[in-house]
Amino acid sequence: MQETIKMEIDDSVVKNENIDAPEISYEKKLRFVNAIAKPLASKKLTKKIYKCIKKGDNYNICKQFLSILASKYKNNVRNGLKDVQKHLRRGERGLVVFAGDVYPIDIMCHLPIICEDKDIPYCFTPSRMDIGAAMNMKRGSLVVLITESYEYRELYDEIKAAMKTLSAPL
C-alpha cells in the first residue's frame, strides 16, 4: 500500500523571502556614476522615467494573458545594448535612458553621439539595477529605448520635455 505524505509550508521562511534589502539612496548611487554620465537625471525625473518604463513594458501583459493574445501587443520598451543599437540604426524614435554606473565606459560611449546626431532625447540614471527592476528583471540593464504609446502619453511628453532641457550638445 502507498502512504500519502502531507507536506506543510513553513510560513516563517516565506515571510523572510519577501523582505527586501534596504535600498541605497539616490545620493549614494551617485558615487558610482562614471565620467561620461551627463546629462544626469534628477531624483524626481529618475522616478518618472522608471514609472514610464514600468508602464511601457508589456511583461505583465504577457504573464496575464495567453501567449497568442500577448503577441498582438507591441513592446514599447527596447532593452539592452544590442537591441537599442539595432533599433536606433533602423530609425526608431523615442527616449533613450542610459545607466550611469557602467564600467568599462567603452561599451556604450558611442550611443549618446548617435542620439545627438538623430536628435533623440537621452539622459543617464544612476543605477542599471534600478532600470532592470523597473522592467521586472533580476538583472540590470545598460540602456533602454522607450517608444511613445497612448497608454502613457502624458508621462512620456513630460519626460521628453525634461530631457530636452537637460540635454546640451557637446
| 31-73 pLDDT tens trace | 888 888 889 999 999 999 999 999 887 655 555 554 555 545 5
pLDDT at 94 over 60: yes
Where is average pLDDT lowest: 11-15, 30-34, 42-46, 165-169? 11-15
Q: Is residue 25 part of a domain?
A: no
Q: Is residue 17 part of a domain?
A: no
Q: What is the pTM of this model?
A: 0.78
pLDDT for res 6? 56
- The b-or-e profile of 79-89 (16+ CB within 10 A means b, else e) is beeeebbeebe
pLDDT for res 69? 52
Give the number of domains in the chain: 1
Q: Is residue 15 part of a domain?
A: no
pLDDT for res 15? 46
Select the more confidently predicted residue: 14 or 130: 130
pLDDT for res 18? 44
Dump pLDDT digits (tens) for 95-151.
999 999 998 889 989 999 999 999 999 999 999 999 999 998 899 999 999 999 888
Instruction: Domain of residue 106: give its range.
Output: 43-64+74-167
pLDDT for res 61? 54
Asked whether 39 and 164 are in contact (CB, 8 A), the reply is no
Nearest to 23 by CA among 1, 5, 41, 50: 50
Place of cell 551617485: 30
Domain of 119, CATH number, reads 3.30.1330.30
